[in-house]
Amino acid sequence: MTESTRETGEPASRGREALLAALGCAAGAILVVYASGRTWATVDPKPEGAEDLQVTGEALTATGALGWAALAALAALAATRGRARIAVGAVLTLLGAVICLLSLTAADPSSVAAAAAEASALFNAGDEYSIAGTSWPALSAAGGVLTALAGVVTAVRGHRWPGMSARYDRRPQPAGKAASDDPTALWKSLDRGEDPTAADPEEH
């Protein structure tokens, strides 16, 4: 492998890393937000014939808000570079860990009963009842894991990834080479599939 091939291959590899981390973060955060709006537990009051009460994740915990915060951090991931991006990765890791913890612990019987009592004045948590859980808390926790993994990768590798703003900056022209006066030249090169961040072949 020549030096030129290595230099052009490394930015592409880093770009794929950044894309995978962003996709993992987005998938995890969206899963958390969606799961938080679903039914996490159903309360069946006694005696028989009383109406069942459905308790959503939003009524039990703040995972939905944390999922939206992770999506906001995803935008910061694309806009930052260097140490700032490492900080964003640390925030995503923390958000994912907290989401996972809350998802696995929020749907305990006492919390579900309290949420059902707040939702319906006809339900008394002191009366006899039964609770049936769903798989949505586990799916929310899985979304938290994805978010945390994306954060770890970003914190460890993110400083090597190219910045969004820098990717489409015009490269400085070498000495003795006139710069193009055509403002559409950069877009034309992108249409031809050329990478504006790649090193000029004539420099090797």
The residues, ordered by sequence, that sit 6+ positions from 199 with a Cβ below 8 Å of its Cβ are: 4, 7, 8
Write the single-letter amino acid at 149: L
DSSP class per residue in 17-86: HHHHHHHHHHHHHHHHHHHHTSEEEEEEESSTTSPPEEEEHHHH-SHHHHHHHHHHHHHHHHH--HHHHH
CATH of the domain at 144: 1.20.140
Residue 94 has pLDDT above 50, yes or no: yes
The pLDDT assigned to 180 comes to 47
Say if 174 falls within a structural domain: no
Say if 201 falls within a structural domain: no
| More confident position, 5 or 193 | 193
Say if 53 falls within a structural domain: yes
Number of domains in the chain: 1
For 116-139, the pLDDT digits (tens) are: 888 877 776 666 778 888 999 999
If pLDDT is split at 50, 70 and 90, which confidence band does 32 have? very high
- Token pair belonging to 41: 């537990």
The pLDDT assigned to 146 comes to 95
The pLDDT assigned to 5 comes to 43
Boundaries of domain holding 25: 15-164
Burial 87-97 (b: 16+ CB within 10 A, else e): bbbebbbebbb
Say if 170 falls within a structural domain: no
Say if 145 falls within a structural domain: yes
Least confident stretch, 24-38, 74-88, 141-155: 74-88
Say if 171 falls within a structural domain: no
The pLDDT assigned to 109 comes to 87
The SS3 of residue 113 is: helix
For 33-77, the pLDDT digits (tens) are: 999 999 999 888 776 656 788 899 999 999 999 999 999 988 888
Q: Look at the alpha carbons of 182, 185, 187, 191 in this order and tell me if their dihedral is positive or negative.
A: positive
Tokens 């700032």 label which residue? 84
Output the pTM of the full model.
0.70
Could you give the CA distance from residue 120 to residue 14 in angstroms, rounded to a whole number? 53
Least confident stretch, 62-71, 86-95, 164-173, 183-192: 164-173
Say if 146 falls within a structural domain: yes
Tokens 């009842």 label which residue? 129
